[in-house]
């Protein structure tokens, strides 16, 4: 298992990868449930070259979609929710209810969907920051609401914009 740190406008990012080089997590300092470096992991920037390049391009507003090999482990439910997150495009937002529907869950499962989103091990790369409350509120983000605002602002999303439908870039 490998790890490295990457500087970013959000602070240092901790990236981990498996033996095959697939990205397994991306965490920010103070993240709720964020990864830490465990014994047996080796600092090696080699497996993270593409991630570093793509993150730099994203923060420069030159990259709209990450193309990285990732590998995150979770329950089948979490995997469905995470796949639904991956379908929310750059510069757009979706509500928890919309993510639930995309994941094949009932509206009653919105709280469980929120838990799955909060357990996302790939912040930024898997865009959980694009999920907002039904009233447009910027509800929870494991990396902190101030980082969520910065990411949405980078992508051109207006804070507090109405929700209830997927908002495509330029639709405001």
Would you name the residues annotated as active-site residues?
A: 128
Cβ neighbors of 119 (< 8 A, separation 6 or more) are: 33, 74, 78
- Are the C-beta atoms of 93 and 111 separated by less than 8 Å? no
Rounded to 5 degrees, what angle do the CA atoms 67, 133, 138 make? 75
- Are the C-beta atoms of 147 and 141 separated by less than 8 Å? yes
- Are the C-beta atoms of 41 and 160 separated by less than 8 Å? no
**DSSP letter assigned to residue 116:** H
In the block, which residue shows the tokens 């907002």? 132
- Residue 49 — φ and ψ, nearest 5°? -60, -50
In the block, which residue shows the tokens 């090696």? 44
HEC readout, 136-154: CCCCCCCCCHHHHHHHHHH
């Amino acid at each position: 298992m490998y790890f490295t740190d990457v500087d970013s406008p959000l602070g240092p990012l901790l990236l981990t990868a498996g033996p095959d080089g697939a990205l397994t997590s991306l965490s920010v300092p103070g993240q709720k449930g964020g990864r830490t470096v465990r014994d047996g992991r080796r600092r090696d920037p080699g497996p993270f070259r593409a991630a570093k390049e793509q993150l730099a391009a994203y923060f420069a507003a030159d990259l709209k979609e990450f193309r990285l090999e990732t590998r995150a482990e979770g329950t089948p439910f979490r995997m469905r929710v995470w796949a639904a997150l991956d379908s929310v495009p750059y510069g757009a937002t979706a509500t928890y209810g919309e993510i639930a529907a995309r994941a094949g869950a009932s509206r009653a499962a919105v709280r469980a969907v929120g838990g799955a989103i909060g357990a996302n091990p790939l912040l930024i790369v898997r865009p959980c920051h694009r999920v907002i409350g039904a009233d447009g509120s910027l509800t929870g983000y494991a990396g902190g609401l101030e980082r969520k605002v910065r990411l949405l602002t980078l992508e051109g999303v207006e804070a507090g914009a109405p929700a209830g439908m997927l908002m495509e870039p330029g639709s405001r």
